[in-house]
Amino acid sequence: MSANPKKGFVSSTLSYKGGIGHWSWILHRLGGLGIAFFLILHILDIFMVGVSRAAFEELLFIYHEPLLRPVIWALVFGVFYHALNGLRIIIQDFWPHMFRYQKQLATTVWVIVIVLTVFLVGVDIAGMLA
């Protein structure tokens, strides 16, 4: 017998049907963590430019390897989403009445993010075919 159980935050977070704001937050947070992790790697790989030409060329597969493209595209999407959703949050934080248009703004974010992502993925694919 265990007294006073409390629903854990993981199951609450995943099971709550909170709508677009709730899912935006989850994506914003996961995306932020992913970007921060890539940023650490990115600083290290660019640091190699300063070490030597050969050391950096060892790492060029990150940008050239076609098999890694889906990872790069996921990252591109994550960056665009985090940036645009962040701008939405800033707008709402400093002009609180904009929270009345939460749904419309969140939808706008999605539209812009999809357009930007499709554009860059298209550019990358065109570059691979060329």
CB of 38 to other proteins, least distance (A): 10
Answer whether 109's CB lies under 8 Å from 85's CB.
yes
Answer whether 124's CB lies under 8 Å from 69's CB.
yes
Nearer to other proteins among residue 35 and residue 74 (C-beta): 35
Cβ-based neighbours of 58, under 8 Å, separated by 6 or more? 48
Could you give the CA distance from residue 114 to residue 57 in angstroms, rounded to a whole number?
A: 32
Answer whether 84's CB lies under 8 Å from 113's CB.
yes
Enumerate binding residues for other proteins (CB under 8 A): 1-9, 12-13, 15-19, 21-22, 24-25, 29, 32-33, 35-36, 39-40, 43-44, 46-47, 49-50, 53, 56-57, 60, 63-64, 72, 76, 79-80, 83-84, 86-87, 89-90, 92-94, 96-97, 99-100, 102, 116, 120, 123-124, 127-128
CB of 67 to other proteins, least distance (A): 13
CB of 8 to other proteins, least distance (A): 8
